[in-house]
Structure 1
Amino acid sequence: MRRLIIALLVLVGLFVAVDFGSAALAESAVSRQMREQIGLVDDPSVRINGFPFLTQAVSGRYSSVDVTASRIHVGPLQELGVSAQLRNVNAPLSMLLGSGPKTLSVQEAEGTVSVPATDVQRLVQGVQDLRIETIDEEALQQTVEDDGGPSSLLQLDPERAARFGGTVTVLGQEVDVWLIATLQLVNGQVQIEPRYIHLGGNDAPALPAVAQSTLQQLFTIRVNPGALPLAVTPTDLKAVNGALEISGTAQNMTLGAGATPATG
C-alpha cells in the first residue's frame, strides 16, 4: 500500500510538471502572437488561467487568458501600460505549438490602458513634475469651503474628475499650480477640462484674468492612447494611482491569421 501511495504521488507530480510545462509552452506561443497583434517591442506577459491546463488544451478551449505589457510607445506617449483578459478563447494546442500561423478566437475581451503622469506631461508644454491624484466628495467640499473654489465643484462626479498638480511659469515666475478637472471620453480619447485652477498655497493672490485664461488653455488637453489592446472599445475612464486608466470590452474577435474586427 505504501509503495502504491508513493507511486501515485510520483504520477501526480509528473502530471503537474507536464501540465505546467505544457501551459508554459502555450503561453509563450500566445505571447508571441499578442506581441505581433498589439505591435509591441517585447513579448507581453501571458497567463492561461485554470487548472489543469491539459484538459483545456485537449478541448482547445480556454476559460480566460491574461495579457499584460508595459512601456508601450504610441506617438508621443512612451510609457503606456496595457492589460487585457481574454475570455472563452478557442485555440487548438496543436496549432499553438506548431510552426504555422496562429489564430485565436475570443468570445469576449476586457482591456485597460494606463497613461502615467509622465506621459500626460509630454502633452502639456511648460509644465514640470505633473501629478495626477484621485479626488473624493470631501476634497471637493474642502476646495469650495477652504480654498474659495466655485460651488459648481460640488456637482462634479468624483469618479469622473481628478486633481492635477505641477510647476509652471506665470508672469516670469516659476510657481506651483494645482487644479481640479473633469475627465471625459470623446471619440476614444481622454478629454481633460479644468474647472478650478489655484496657484501656490491658500494665501496666494488671485490670478489675473489673462493668466487664468492661459492656464485654462494649457491644461485643456486631449490624450490619445491609441487603440486599446485587441481593438477593445473604450467605455470607462478614471484616475488611478497617479495615472489615467481607460477601459473597455469587445466581443467575438479573431486574433492572428485572418483577424477580424471586434464588436463593442
Structure 2
Amino acid sequence: MGNSPGTPKTRPRTQPPARDGAVVAPTGRLEARRGGLAFRRVIIGLLCLAGLAVVLDFGAAAYSEYRVSRMLRDGSDLSADPEVTFHGFPFAAQALNDEYKNVDIRARAMRPDIPGEILVEANLRGVHMSLRDLIDGKVQSVPVDQVEARMRIEPVEMGRLFKIPDLQVFGPPADKSDGTGGSGGSGMTTAGAIILTGTIPLPDADAPVVPGTRTSGETVSVLADLRLVDDQVRITATDIYRGVGAANQGDVASSPAPMTPETDKARVLALFTRTIDTRDLPFGIRPIKVEASGGQIVVEGRGKDVTVDLDRLQQP
C-alpha cells in the first residue's frame, strides 16, 4: 500500500561507516593490553631500583676501601695507597651488622734492613666495626676474628739484601722420579733446603758490586738452609751446588769454575748467608712459617681473636 499524500517518507537507521583502514577492537582486548603495559612498567621500575641499589652498594664499598687505604697510608708512612678490598655482597648488609666477612690488604712497605720496598699482605676475617666509626676514623681498636699476615721478599729486594744484583731463589734439587727430571725450579714451594744462584765478584776484584750493572765475576749456585728461628728468617749457605739442576735454571753454568780451596768456599758461602728480622709482619702478627715460592721468600703468620689498629699496618 502506498503512503498517503502529505506523509513524509522514513528511512531505516544505518551504522555510520567506519573510517578507512580503522579496526574497531573489543573493549576487553583494550583492557588486557593496558594491563600488560602497566605490568611491564612495574618490572622495568623494579629492575631500575635493583640496579640503583647495586650501584649504591658498590659505591659504599668503594668509599670504605678508600677510607681504610688512606688511613693506612698516613698512619704507616707508606709511599702509595695500599690496595684494600671488602669482599662479599651486599656490602650494605655487612655494614648494618657491623661485621665485615673478608677484607684483603696489599701494600709496599719500607724495611730498615732491606733496601727498597717489600710486599706485605693481610687477610682479615670477621672484622667488627661500625660504619660510623669507619667514617669518623675511629679504627684504633678493631676486633678481628682471624688475621693472616704475609711478607714477600721478591728477587730484586733479595739481590739488594745480599748485594748480589742477579740473585735468584730456586726450589731444592728434586728427585728424577717426581716428574721434574731432578731440576727443581723457581715455581716450587718449599721450606728447608733451597738453591741460591748469583754472580759474585772474583777474589781479586776490587770494584764493589753496583746494583743494575753487569759485574765481572763468577756465577755460582749454593745449597742453603731456610729456617724460621725466634721470629727471624735465617738463610744459611751450606755448600757449593754443582748438580744437574743448576744447568737448567737460568744462566747458571753447568760446571762453575773450581773453588777447591776452603778459603774460597768459605767466602762464597758467607756471601749467600743472611738473617732477616720479621717483626714487621702486618699488624704485629708473629710469623709461624717461611717458604720459598715462585722465586720469593714468603713469611706467614696467623692470629685469632686479635685487636688491630686499622690505621697502622706496621705496629711499633
Provide TM-score, normalisation by structure 2.
0.70
Structure-2 residue corresponding to 1:6:
44
Change (3 A) 1:93 1:136: farther
Measured after TM superposition, the shift of residue 75 of structure 1 is 0.9
- 1:47-103 CA-to-partner distances (Å, cap 9, x unmatched) read 111100000000110111000112x211142120011100100110111123x5334
SS in 2 for 1:42: coil
Matched, 1:184 2:227: yes
Q: Which runs of 5 or more residues in structure 1 are unaligned? A: 147-156
Structure-2 residue corresponding to 1:172:
204
- 1:222-261 CA-to-partner distances (Å, cap 9, x unmatched) read 12254100111101111112210000111233333899x9
The percent of aligned pairs where both chains have the same amino acid is 30
Structure-1 residue corresponding to 2:212:
none
Q: For the Cα contact (< 8 Å) 1:79–1:116, is it kept in 2?
A: no
Q: Which runs of 5 or more residues in structure 2 are unaligned? A: 1-38, 184-188, 206-216, 243-252
1:244 to 283, 297, 302: 297
Q: State the alpha-carbon separation in 2 of the partners of residues 242 and 158 from structure 1.
A: 11
- 1:140-183 CA-to-partner distances (Å, cap 9, x unmatched) read 99xxx99xxxxxxxxxx953222111111233362110112111
Q: Which structure: larger Rg?
A: 2
Paired positions, count: 245
AA of the residue aligned to 2:218: V
Q: State the alpha-carbon separation in 2 of the partners of residues 164 and 227 from structure 1.
A: 24
Q: State the alpha-carbon separation in 1 of the partners of residues 43 and 173 from structure 2.
A: 59
SS in 1 for 2:161: coil
User: What does residue range 1-264 of structure 1 map to in structure 2 within 5 Å?
Assistant: 1-36=39-74, 38-70=76-108, 72-77=109-114, 78-98=116-136, 100-103=137-140, 104-125=142-163, 127-135=164-172, 137-138=174-175, 158-172=190-204, 174-198=217-241, 200-202=253-255, 204-256=257-309
Structure-1 residue corresponding to 2:249:
none
Change (3 A) 1:193 1:203: closer
Q: For the Cα contact (< 8 Å) 2:162–2:271, is it kept in 1?
A: yes
SS in 1 for 2:55: helix
Q: State the alpha-carbon separation in 2 of the partners of residues 253 and 203 from structure 1.
A: 51
Change (3 A) 1:203 1:38: closer
Q: Which has the higher strand share?
A: 1
Provide TM-score, normalisation by structure 1.
0.83
Structure-1 residue corresponding to 2:33:
none
Q: For the Cα contact (< 8 Å) 1:80–1:113, is it kept in 2?
A: yes
Q: For the Cα contact (< 8 Å) 2:196–2:272, is it kept in 1?
A: no
Pairwise CA RMSD of aligned residues?
Answer: 2.9
Q: State the alpha-carbon separation in 2 of the partners of residues 231 and 3 from structure 1.
A: 56
